[in-house]
Amino acid sequence: MEGDPDLQFLLQGGDLLKVRSPSWKKTRYFKLQEDCKTVWHESKKTFRRKQTFSLDDIAAVRMGRQSEGLRKYTEEQVEIRCFSIMFKGRRKNLDLIASSEEEAKQWVSSLEKMVSRLKNLSCQQKTEHWILSCLRKADKNKDDKLSPSEVKNFFRLINIDVEDEYAEMLFKKCDKSNSGYLTGEEIQHLYELLTQREEIDVIYGEYARTTGFMNSENIVDFLMKEQREKATLEDARRIIEKYEPDENVKEKKLLSKDGFLMYMQHPEALILNSDHTEVYQDMSQPLNHYFISSSHNTYLMEDQLKGPSSTEAYIRALLKGCRCVELDCWDGSDDEPVIYHGYTLTSKILFKDAIKAIKEYAFKTSDYPVILSLENHCSVEQQKVMAHHMNSILGSALITAPLGQGMPTEFPSPEEAADNTDVTEEDDDEWKKKLKLAKELSDMVIYCKSVHFHGFEDAAQNLSFYEMSSFKEGKAVGLAEESANAFIRHNVDKLSRIYPAGTRTDSSNYDPVPLWNAGCQIVALNFQTNCTDMDVNQGRFLVNGKSGYILKPAYMRDLATDFDPITLTRGDWLKHKTLHVMIISAQQLPKVNKKKSSIVDPLVKVEVFGVPADVAEKETNAIENNGFNPAWNENFQFDVYVPDLALVRFLVEDHDSTSDNEFVGQYTLPFNSLKMGYRHVPLLNKNGDLLPSAGLFVHIMVVDA
């Protein structure tokens, strides 16, 4: 990108007005640092350390007054000069005002371009970028040379602690000039020694025996024997054309070791079946035949006692593929309904602002329908305002009448209702005894009318398909454990919504797996809380194009089904498989503790979630002081009886002998989406965002038991 005008603009930087409150608006100088990855901005507080953030931490850059802060603390006339930098995780937005509309647009477009470029780097390019950044940091006096002590510091920066003797040996091996410093090609040699992947060398060597390179036949052999994939010579030629970086080698129709590694780290060769990253399931079944990605208290960013409410929380949930969002609606001032957690200190947002955010972001990740779950505490007058806002803002995207011809007898399919929103009201008996409903609002509830649950027999005899029951987690888990088959049959033609217990004031979550095992569709979790349960939820909905809809197995869509996840009687669901996992190595694991001297001691856990008979966990030994390139070569075996409902989670932790291990990264995916053979496993951080260049290398084999 050398010479790129957007890059040059960011490197030069400029003054921006930073906005925090009506009385806190201060000019700060922002610029991109030489690593082309870190943005620096000055802080007037001399006791504060340098203010920086990484482009990797940016979730989005939004033009205009789109954040709550800018809407609250600025006037409409500065709209064209405003923009916000939204961060991943819980870091607060940066709300900024440029000196002109042109300058604001330049900042937004330049930042978006750089974020996109970084995101689209190959795994090898990300590794090179990161190591180069660490080399710059290690070169304390900026003389483009590395002394022995600077090399030792460099090792710590890349998360590896080596013995002095080994560090000295590596240094001497690279110091060809015997100058006592490493420069230019010597530093390049150090990089090559550190990034050498012996395990890749061995695999590549097995199939590149004749010429020292892999030819098309070698590639086909590798794909069929090791990766258990159907492959043709045409497939092999495509791989060479796409991944071979050396034009001379490519011309000879060969694949070098570098090209092989680039292919192995590309999404098409990772552990997740790349066919499942697109919508591949039948989307023409009734809505209740799918597991639906669902959020509870969607408006909250943190806990439900005093945490902030924000339209950003809706945006984040929708961008993660969530298809059912919750709006707790209360009377607000100036006849404007508000959303917040009633009778608490959580902050409030306007109902209309939430609907505007939903309108804009509902279909950016998925085209399939969004359910608006309204917990209505408003007076009749403000209910009318709610109905007006939904009609005027959502317009034709709002389902206001049954789809298709005549009176429906079942839910529409996700395909039929695509790019639409539907409204449901949550069932709260105590409140509804006191509450009068505005006709304008109740008429909007078309498919998901909320009713109280009086037992499975009553529901089968008296409830229509569009009448949905909501269950607290305790009640639902009890039914799933004691009456699993009855619950599954109930969910064949009805919708069930599950929500966390009211005692979870910290917005913690419950395990969604037993509820999915019972066929429950809307298992609502607190998306704002990072935990194993959310990891598993995101793993469940990782596939089918991240559409937010996962088709239930056929035996959970049959009213006469005998399937019971607890007793596991014989049937179509029993497909006993043995899963063999070899944890080979990891690459570029991040530091858990940001102190330079802190190096991780990584271990890997492999967890299986599903029916009770399938639940299991196994772990490797910990590797001391090496987060850069630890190797385990440990084998595990798991029995999986109901693969349709199973998920596999790879968890990396920093081992601690005196306290709980610390989370490093994880990746969860459905069992049926595993690819066999040698596979790289990407790793996600606590927020569910990809860790750049970090990953595991494993071998997977699934056989019939």
Strands 549-551 and 290-295: antiparallel
Is 617 labelled a binding residue? no
**Encoded tokens for 78:** 């500065």
Q: CATH number for the 198-269 domain, one of 3.40.50.261, 3.60.10.10, 1.20.140.10, 1.10.238.10?
A: 1.10.238.10
Integer-rounded Cα radius of gyration of the chain: 28
Is 22 labelled a binding residue? yes
Three-class HEC string of 198-210 = HHHHHHHHHHCCC
Secondary structure (DSSP) of 133-157: HHHHHH-TT-SS-B-HHHHHHHHHH
**Encoded tokens for 413:** 């399919």
Is 549 labelled a binding residue? no
Strands 38-41 and 51-54: antiparallel
pLDDT confidence of residue 431: 45
Is 656 labelled a binding residue? yes
Is 654 labelled a binding residue? yes
Is 44 labelled a binding residue? yes
Is 328 labelled a binding residue? yes
Note whether 371 and 446 are within 8 A (CB). Answer: no
**CATH fold of the domain at 287-556:** TIM Barrel (3.20.20)
Is 447 labelled a binding residue? no
Note whether 683 and 663 are within 8 A (CB). Answer: no
Choose, from 129, 296, 389, 490, the residue flagged as catalytic. Answer: 296
Nearest to 703 by CA among 596, 593, 577: 577
Is 609 labelled a binding residue? no
**Encoded tokens for 677:** 């053979």
**Same CATH fold, 287-556 and 124-195?**
no
Tell me the residue type at 670.
Answer: P
Q: What letter would DSSP give residue 324?
A: E
Residues 628-663 as b/e (b if ≥16 CB within 10 A, e otherwise) read: bbbebebebebebbbbbbbbbbbbbbbbeeeeebeb
Residues counted in the chain: 705
Three-class HEC string of 55-91 = HHHEEEEEECCCCHHHHHHCCHHHHHHEEEEEECCCC
For the question of residue 341 being annotated catalytic, the response is yes
Nearest to 341 by CA among 581, 505, 205: 505
Is 52 labelled a binding residue? no
Note whether 84 and 68 are within 8 A (CB). Answer: no
User: Distance between CA atoms of 599 and 627, rounded to whole angstroms?
Assistant: 7
Is 601 labelled a binding residue? yes
Helix (H) or strand (E) holding 672: none
User: Distance between CA atoms of 559 and 488, rounded to whole angstroms?
Assistant: 8
Nearest to 60 by CA among 119, 14, 142, 17: 119
Where are the alpha helices (H) located in 144-256, listed in sequence order?
148-157, 164-174, 184-195, 198-207, 216-225, 233-243, 247-251
For the chain, give every domain's residue range.
5-120, 124-195, 198-269, 287-556, 577-704
pLDDT confidence of residue 424: 84
Strands 324-330 and 338-339: antiparallel
Task: Write down the residue that tokens 């029916």 correspond to.
Answer: 611
Beta carbons within 8 Å of 470's beta carbon, 6+ residues apart:
426, 427, 450, 496, 497, 498, 499
- CA angle 657/134/139 to nearest 5° reads 120
Low-confidence ranges of the chain (pLDDT < 50): 46-47, 429-433
Helix (H) or strand (E) holding 536: helix 532-540
Is 155 labelled a binding residue? no
Note whether 218 and 206 are within 8 A (CB). Answer: no
Residues 240-264 as b/e (b if ≥16 CB within 10 A, e otherwise) read: beebbeeeebbeeebbbbbbbbbbb
User: Distance between CA atoms of 554 and 442, rounded to whole angstroms?
Assistant: 34
Is 30 labelled a binding residue? yes
Residues forming beta bridges with residue 634, ordered by sequence position: 583
Is 42 labelled a binding residue? yes
Q: CATH number for the 124-195 domain, one of 2.130.10.10, 1.10.150.20, 1.10.238.10, 1.10.3720.10?
A: 1.10.238.10
Strands 14-19 and 25-32: antiparallel
Nearest to 321 by CA among 290, 286, 289: 290
User: Distance between CA atoms of 163 and 653, rounded to whole angstroms?
Assistant: 23
Q: What letter would DSSP give residue 309?
A: B
**CATH fold of the domain at 577-704:** Immunoglobulin-like (2.60.40)
Is 188 labelled a binding residue? no
Task: Write down the residue that tokens 């209309």 correspond to.
Answer: 352
Which architecture, in CATH terms, is 5-120?
A: Roll (2.30)
Is 71 labelled a binding residue? no
Choose, from 341, 490, 680, 699, the residue flagged as catalytic. Answer: 341
Note whether 623 and 568 are within 8 A (CB). Answer: no
User: Distance between CA atoms of 131 and 31, rounded to whole angstroms?
Assistant: 22
pLDDT confidence of residue 127: 82
Note whether 110 and 7 are within 8 A (CB). Answer: yes
pLDDT confidence of residue 47: 44
Torsion angle (degrees, nearest 10) of CA 667, 668, 671, 676: -10
Nearest to 620 by CA among 568, 583, 575, 667: 583
Helix (H) or strand (E) holding 7: helix 5-12
Is 462 labelled a binding residue? no
For the question of residue 296 being annotated catalytic, the response is yes
